[in-house]
């Protein structure tokens, strides 16, 4: 198959930036609910200040230039224009590595980690550990979205990026790494495309299962996990229910209000990162706003909900009882949203080669701890080269 990509550079029209600033200036804020800030969701005081910064000081063109510093392309695959970064490795034999983001993330998550993976010698590492990185915007996300296009669940996303790597770029075998939905797609690749995978690495063990009945006689670690899972489902999983049942209704509000969009996403950056309650300790304000602005400018927030809907309506990462036999690595960051025990993971991933407990970081590992995650990815794949 011969599919020709076209080079791409992001350039948001000046008129769209002006329109955004006008909308931000006319934001209507709710009152602050009684009680502690953030107790019921995004803090009004924080969001007022953030919206003011976004309107008056945030430099979108600087973030746009940071993305455009990497080679980018678009290619027609599965009836959509798939956007991706394709960054050659600097070393004697770079390994092709598919790097996959999740929700509410984007390729902006990867701007600091990509150089550490493609050119490790620049950061004091070994050039023999270099990767050639391919980082797509997941179908339906950011620059891989156009109004009216079809929706993708995890299996369809995996098929699309597998075709990108094999059919478009010509990589017979490659590695994959991901967090959040990127971890789900990575796991699906290990299941459905085992013959193409050198190995897979995830920083969210999303495919390990969340059914308490799978632990009839839980040990201490499993009891800890079940307690965390119950707390997560009770207090943190409401967004999954609305995104998974009424994604279109929510899309109206977040497509029309940039402040509403920011409130929806910032709350997750704060709750899921290792920030001690202050999100900008973990994720820079400008990079966080770049991610939010990309959702705004592309109008992709509604389509980004689709994996949640698909999962709640029968689209599994792989069938019940399915296992992944390719070499697997996992980095558990302490502030990850859920942290399944290795016993649960081993039921699904039958060849776990590396299981690392990280000292710092949360759900957005590539954003929060790019050096630490890059070191882990290199260490995992070293024995597979």
d(CA 6, CA 8): 6
d(CA 50, CA 41): 15
* Catalytic residue status for 375: no
Catalytic residue, chosen from 43, 274, 363, 375, is 363
Catalytic residue, chosen from 19, 81, 167, 309, is 309
Find all residues with CB under 8 Å of 34, minimum gap 6, and list them.
none
- Show the DSSP H helices in 69-132 as ranges: 114-118
d(CA 221, CA 228): 11
Catalytic residue, chosen from 119, 129, 180, 286, is 180
Query: SS3 for 280?
Result: helix
Task: Kindly provide the b/e burial profile for residues 254-286, where b requires at least 16 CB atoms within 10 angstroms of the residue's own CB.
Answer: bbebbbbbbbbbbbbbbbbbbbeeebbebbebb
Residue 223: count of CB within 10 angstroms of its CB? 12
* Catalytic residue status for 363: yes
* Catalytic residue status for 83: no
Which residue in 61, 55, 86 sits closest to 10, CA to CA?
61
Q: Would you name the residues annotated as active-site residues?
A: 180, 309, 363
């Amino acid at each position: 198959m011969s599919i020709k990509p076209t080079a791409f550079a992001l350039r948001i029209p000046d008129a769209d930036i002006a329109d955004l600033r006008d909308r931000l200036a006319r934001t209507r804020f709710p009152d602050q609910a009684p009680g502690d800030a953030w107790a019921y969701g995004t803090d009004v005081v924080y969001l007022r200040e953030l919206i003011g910064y976004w309107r008056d000081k945030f430099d979108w063109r600087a973030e746009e230039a940071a993305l455009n510093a990497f080679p980018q392309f678009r290619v027609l695959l599965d009836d959509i224009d798939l956007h991706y970064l394709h960054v050659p490795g600097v070393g004697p034999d770079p390994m092709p590595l598919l790097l996959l983001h999740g929700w509410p993330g984007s390729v902006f998550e990867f701007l600091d980690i990509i150089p550490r993976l493609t050119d490790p010698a620049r950061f004091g590492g070994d050039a023999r550990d270099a990767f050639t990185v391919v980082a797509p915007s997941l179908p339906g996300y950011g620059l891989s979205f156009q109004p009216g296009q079809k929706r993708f669940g995890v299996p369809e996303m995996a098929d699309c990026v597998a075709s990108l790597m094999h059919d478009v770029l010509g990589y017979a075998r490659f590695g994959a790494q991901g967090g959040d939905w990127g971890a789900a797609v990575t796991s699906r690749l290990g299941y459905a495309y085992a013959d193409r995978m050198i190995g897979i690495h995830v920083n969210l063990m999303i495919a390990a299962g969340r059914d308490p009945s799978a632990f009839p006689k839980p040990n201490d670690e499993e009891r800890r996990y079940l307690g965390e899972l119950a707390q997560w489902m009770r207090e943190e999983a409401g967004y999954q229910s609305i995104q998974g049942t009424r994604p279109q209704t929510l899309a109206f509000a977040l497509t029309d209000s940039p402040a509403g969009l920011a409130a929806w996403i910032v709350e997750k950056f704060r709750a899921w990162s290792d920030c001690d309650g202050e999100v900008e300790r973990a994720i820079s304000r400008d990079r966080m706003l770049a991610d939010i602005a990309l959702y705004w400018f592309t109008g992709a927030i509604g389509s980004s909900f689709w994996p949640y809907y698909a999962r709640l309506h029968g689209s599994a990462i792989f069938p019940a009882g399915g296992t992944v036999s390719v070499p697997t690595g996992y980095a558990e960051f302490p502030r990850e949203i859920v942290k399944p025990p290795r016993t649960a993971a081993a039921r699904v991933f039958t060849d776990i080669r590396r299981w690392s407990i990280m000292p710092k970081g949360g759900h957005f590992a590539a954003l929060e701890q790019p050096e630490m995650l890059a070191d882990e990815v290199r260490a995992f794949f070293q024995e597979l080269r």
